[in-house]
């Protein structure tokens, strides 16, 4: 069934590595900030499309823990855009029934951004539409290490027998606890790597790498990606029914 025709055939959770803002700007002889501004416009298009389609969960890789290594001017511009997005878009998202969640570290961002994150989550907490997750100051290895530390601490304090640790126990201590694992991970711009994104959660995800740069990725491209997913056979390590 084609994506967008009700919920049949839709993945429960789509995650997107939004890549290509800088190249988009360079191709147009514009500063990199212009690419990031265009990227925010693409976020709006895809989020609105996800709401229209009836998607349950959408995770967007907004800022990685490694992005702090970029030039201070670019990091500052990205933080400014993040502030602007929260100031301008949260009320619309709330009206659309979107429930917001931000995963990642909150210790390295400025206090006002941390406040915006907390307020956006609180003000949309009772919505029942799309779960919109922003991975912000997020790193998959850092996330897994933090979950492992929590289990190790519990074992050291005698609250947990190390021999009883299961994948489910670690999973419950990740930032994404309570969310279904992503069924589909899309990366734009032609790059073919995860870049430290949802490393644990991606174990059985389908991957789709598209050449489109993120600022040019809109509703049509999103629907096309979902349509491709609907034609894939997912086995989760098993054989197809006909060969079982």
Q: Which helix (H) or strand (E) holds 206?
A: strand 206-209
Domain boundaries, the chain: 13-141+182-232
Determine if the pTM surpasses 0.85. yes
Place of tokens 């606890």: 177
Write out residues in the chain with pLDDT < 70, as ranges. 1-8, 234-244
pLDDT of 34-47, one tens digit each?
A: 999 999 999 999 99
Helix 111-124 to helix 72-95 angle (10° resolution) is 20
Contact 63, 137 (CB under 8 A): yes
Residue 160 tokens read as 């947990």
Please identify which of the residues 7, 19, 57, 137 carries the catalytic annotation.
19
Which residues make Cβ contacts (< 8 Å) with residue 142, sequence separation at least 6? 65, 105
Contact 194, 140 (CB under 8 A): yes
> Looking at beta carbons, which pairs linking 202-211 to residues 24 or more positions away fall under 8 Å?
202/15, 204/234, 204/236, 204/237, 205/15, 205/181, 206/11, 206/232, 206/234, 208/184, 210/186
The C-alpha atoms of residue 30 and residue 148 are separated, in whole angstroms, by: 43
Please identify which of the residues 7, 21, 67, 89 carries the catalytic annotation.
67
Q: Which helix (H) or strand (E) holds 121?
A: helix 111-124
The question of whether 161 is a catalytic residue gets the answer no
pLDDT of 187-231, one tens digit each?
A: 999 999 999 999 999 999 999 999 999 999 999 999 999 999 998
pLDDT of res. 233? 75
The C-alpha atoms of residue 184 and residue 43 are separated, in whole angstroms, by: 17
Ordered strands of the 184-187 beta sheet: 99-103, 131-138, 57-64, 13-17, 184-187, 206-209
The question of whether 216 is a catalytic residue gets the answer no
What is the dotted CATH code of the domain comprising 13-141+182-232?
3.40.1180.10
């Amino acid at each position: 069934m084609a994506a967008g025709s009700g919920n049949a055939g839709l993945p429960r959770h789509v995650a997107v590595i939004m890549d290509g803002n800088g190249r988009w700007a360079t191709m147009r002889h514009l500063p990199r900030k212009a690419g990031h501004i265009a990227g925010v416009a693409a976020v709006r298009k895809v989020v609105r499309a996800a709401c229209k389609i009836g998607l349950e969960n959408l995770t967007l890789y907004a800022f990685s823990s490694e992005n702090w290594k970029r030039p201070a001017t670019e990091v500052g511009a990205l933080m400014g855009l993040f502030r602007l997005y929260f100031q301008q878009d949260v009320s619309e998202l709330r009206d659309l029934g979107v429930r917001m969640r931000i995963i990642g570290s909150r210790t390295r961002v400025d206090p006002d951004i941390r406040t915006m994150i907390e307020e956006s989550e609180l003000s949309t907490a009772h919505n029942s539409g799309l779960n919109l997750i922003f991975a912000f100051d997020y790193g998959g290895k850092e996330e897994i290490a933090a979950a492992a530390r929590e289990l190790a601490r519990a074992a050291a304090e005698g609250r947990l027998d190390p021999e009883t640790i299961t994948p489910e126990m670690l999973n419950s201590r990740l930032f994404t606890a309570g969310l279904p694992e992503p069924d589909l991970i899309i990366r734009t711009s032609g790059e073919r790597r995860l870049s430290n994104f949802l490393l644990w959660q991606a174990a059985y995800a389908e991957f789709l790498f598209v050449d489109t740069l993120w600022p040019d990725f809109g509703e049509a491209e999103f629907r096309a990606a979902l349509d491709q997913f609907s034609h894939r056979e997912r086995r989760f390590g098993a054989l197809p029914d006909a060969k079982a």
